[in-house]
Structure 1
Amino acid sequence: MDADSSSGGGRHVFRPWSAQGGEAPLTVAGAQGSWFWDRDGNRYLDLASQLVNVNLGHQHPRLLAAIAEQARELCTIGPNFSNDTRDRLALLIAERAPGDLDRVFFTNAGTEANEHAVRMARLATGRSKVLTAYRSYHGATAGSITLTGDPRRWPNEPGLPGVVHFFGPYAYRTAFHAEDERQECERALGHLEQVFQMEGPHTVAAVLLETVVGTNGVLVPPDGYLAGVRELCDRHGALLICDEVMVGFGRIGEWFAVDAWQVVPDLITFAKGVNSGYVPLGGVVMSERVAAAFDDRVYPGGLTYSGHPLACAPGIATIEVFEETGMLEHVRRLGREVLGPGLAKLADNHPSVGEVRGRGLFWAIELVRDRATREPLVPFNASGAAAGPMAAVMNSCVAEGVWPMCQMNRIHLAPPLVITEDELRRGLDAIDAALRTADTYVTA
């Protein structure tokens, strides 16, 4: 059979999130650190960490060594057995989790982690409804795509019953006519309280939210919002689930993003950065209250590859590297001293930039046609010709040798946490040049 070795994207691979007759993806020949390259030797600075998961960069020697050592010792063992590698990673995660979250259920990915967290919340509370934000993404399996609020949910409906969506804070495009972030926070919490009341507080098992909203805009919550949601959940007997699939394990300079606001949820879901995606791994870390709900009854869920040793080994190595290199402070410093100020300068110089926002090494550049009206560069959920301006911006980035993530009318920057200051400044220079393309679409 023809393996399509001469063209990108072999024709026998059915590609996710793609029209199969569209343009074939770039074929990657290799990667190292913050860079990857194609078969022609074209190098790209990976400003997206692939899918915001390669936190320690490509081909990290400590992670590769951990996988190889584990493979020599024990490649796999079922989750019905105890295993030192699995147990060790669970301990390390529990030690770094906030409050009394000290039990870990391992999954294969973030989407499964969110499904199981919701199942746990429903069983622990005896309630059925889950409240999630419209601007959210929680995964693509049958349940988690229903939990998702953004348009990726639409073609997959009808979905999981009992999911109700609400508006979270987004001061730049406020749904609450707020004049500042403080007011946005207050009104967003008031709106969520109304949703509780209209749905019947006694029916709500949990509120599920991304601690920092990811692909829907890198929306950093205003101070007080997470604490307010925590209080609402406590008042109404619901659990708080924080989806940290993207922002856990150092992305904003904290082990878990909730630490930045000193809020303790009942469950945290994780994946991606726990081992940089070298081997699929995700999980749920839960409070004593949730775990205790299953002391005397069977938890009705499991996975053949739960806590796979080859996935847990690089997870242990990841935490060790973080500790030994001061990775969290490195991320905070680069965000505070390089990426944040650099993006603010780009906003000053380019009329297409409506807002920049982020924390640590997780940022978004929101592109507009008109700063005064905040008209987005492309319409909401644009596709085809309507999405052309953003496609042109992305092509300009690639031509400059950088590969960010483009979502709707935004450029997202989430480079590997190991990126150097020089590499990051080089990336900013390339984005600066690419934004000239966006500027050509400005109408006012």
Structure 2
Amino acid sequence: MAERSYDFLMPSVNFFGPGVISKIGDRAKMLGMKKLVIVTDKFLEGLKGGAVEQTLDSLKAAGVDYVVYNNVEPNPKIRNIKEVKKLYEESGADSIITVGGGSAHDTGKGAGIILTNGDDITKLAGIETLDKALPPLIAVNTTAGTGSELTRHAVITNEETHLKFVVVSWRNIPLVSFNDPTLMLDVPKGLTAATGMDAFVQAVEPYVSVDHNPITDSQCVEAIKLIETSLREAVANGNNLDARTKMVEAEMLAGMAFNNANLGYVHAMAHQLGGQYDAPHGVCCALLLPYVEEYNIIACPDRFAQLAEIMGENTEGLSTRDAAELAIKAMKQLSEDVGIPHSIKEIGAKPEDFELMAENALKDGNAFSNPRKGTKEDIIKIFQAAYDAE
């Protein structure tokens, strides 16, 4: 590890804590933004006193003009990013602010990509494929989950093929991120659980990734500890500001970690589930996590034994392999406690689709950093195990 060099990417400025959303207008003005496209969804736009309203109030106070795109949908589609591009060009905008969770941020990033790098985003799938900078981008986050407000990942669904693909580039990283935990107090428990489990997976996968390094390791460890102690509380009582704050801290740490150490087969496979069945991303990740990581144990059993200890399991006197198995048990317990379904069957998965999904998973940009290198047959078996779970 000491002989390998690595870089570390994150937004240049990150605002965190209750009330920071009020700083958006001043920061936009400081960056020279004249006309913004606000990328959000209808629910958030209509929420009285919510993130969109507070964002607009801050922009008005700073004298920054804007138009609103409110048609973001879960698992954002190519049509969504083209709609944002059209509004951007017709309105004479010069920058973008995304307000929401991962879907809003991915939509804004996707629009930025096709505004400057060519209209066919499918040709840009992969790692560091972008030659030109995106328009200036600010991300206002409303869920403690995806970490997209911090990362170089843009995940888009081709609605014609049902294929979810990722464009990974340092050019996608927002200039500024805002994480205000007070915006998350009213997030429903199902969404809290799904996004929280996504953050958990995004802390586990970089920890066992072939690209992990000492900095990302420390971020993963702290994120996992925070999630282990606060996600259940946030799901049980959404108005628990302390739990919400810890979850935001955790998702930021996890986002920074996977932005640099990358992910693995959980995300590569979850993208196929989400694209094929339009299922919630965090739920897909949570359902696949224990089965992917059980497959991965032989590649780095010591890392999994460490994960068990990080999650509070008693590993004293156990062999490395037995301790590693406790990590898998703890992952399943966390999912069950926050109400994640038991099987991918429950989100509509069909075994006849597994072969194609396995092929596409191995092509996904997240697959290459998985600690164990698998075959199509291996991935099919993992899908089947997650399908047969009870």
TM-score, normalised to structure 2's length?
0.36
Whose strand fraction is larger, Structure 1's or Structure 2's? Answer: 1
Q: Radius of gyration: which is bigger?
A: 1
TM-score, normalised to structure 1's length?
0.32
